[in-house]
Every structure is written in structure tokens, then in C-alpha cells.
Amino acid sequence: MLYKDACNEKSNQKNLGTIKSSNLCAEIMEVSTPDETAACNLASLACLSSLQTLGLISTKLHQVTKVAIKNLDRVIDVNYHPTDKIEQIEPRTSSCRFGYSRFGGCVLQNASSV
């Protein structure tokens, strides 16, 4: 359950307006107005498989994250926007999220190998 006041209090989009909704999983909350529809570009790193293929350590994790964010920013620039309302807001907000899947398993696997 989300509380509108708490979400808006902690939002880095306070200057854009009031957040009134979230995505279905409730991890992304963005300002939408009658003239602009919020959109977010997502990417995820599978930590356990990355650990095995890259020998993932904090330095490499930082490098991978940096590359992923740069690429997400490029996606925003060249992306096809299905509506004019999304096309208007995307360049202003450059909204993107980068997450790690199975991060806890990655930490546990690293801890047990030390």
C-alpha cells in the first residue's frame, strides 16, 4: 500500500507536480498531468549469472551500472514514444531505473566463498 503524502514528500520530482499513482508493482511513482503522461525506461542486471560470467566485484558492478545508465539514457533519446504526451515529458525527466535481480543471492554466494 502506498500513501500519496509519503510518496510526494520523498519524491525527486517535487518540482514537476503531485504524484497520484504508481506502476502495477508500486516501485515506480512519477508525476503525470492531463498534458503529460509519465514513462520510465527499465533495465536489470541478473547478479548471480553476472557473478559467474564477469567475476562480479564492486568495481565491476560500478562499471556495469555506469554503462547501463548511459545506455538507458540513449534509449530515451532514440525511443519511439507511443503518444505525444509521453514524448513531451521524456526529454525533461529522462526517467530511468536500473535494478539488480537476485542481489541477495549474489551477496550470500560471495560471503560463503570468502
Residues 81-110 have pLDDT tens digits of 888 888 888 877 888 888 888 877 777 776
Which residue among 27, 71, 87, 96 is the active-site one? 27
Closest Cα to residue 98, out of 43, 24, 41, 53? 43
Closest Cα to residue 39, out of 88, 92, 95? 95
- Inside any domain, residue 72: yes
User: Is 60 exceeded by the pLDDT of residue 113?
Assistant: no
Assess whether 50 and 70 both reside in one domain. Answer: yes
Assess whether 68 and 17 both reside in one domain. Answer: no
Assess whether 86 and 63 both reside in one domain. Answer: yes
In the annotation, is 27 catalytic? yes
Contact (CB, 8 A) for 55 and 109:
no
Assess whether 54 and 11 both reside in one domain. Answer: no
Which residue among 23, 71, 106, 110 is the active-site one? 23
Q: What is the mean pLDDT of the chain?
A: 81
pLDDT band at 70 (very low <50, low <70, confident <90, very high): very high
Q: Which residues pair with 22 in a beta bridge?
A: 29
Assess whether 57 and 100 both reside in one domain. Answer: yes
Structural domain range at position 2: 1-31
What b/e readout covers 5-33, taking b as 16+ CB neighbours within 10 angstroms? eebbeebebeebeebeeeeeeeeebbbbe
Cα angle value 23/89/16 (rounded, 5°) = 80
Assess whether 7 and 26 both reside in one domain. Answer: yes
Specify the number of domains making up the chain. Answer: 2
Which residue among 9, 12, 15, 25 is the active-site one? 25
Assess whether 76 and 27 both reside in one domain. Answer: no
Q: Looking at mean pLDDT, say which of 47-51, 63-67, 98-102 comes out highest.
A: 63-67
Assess whether 62 and 106 both reside in one domain. Answer: yes
- Inside any domain, residue 36: no
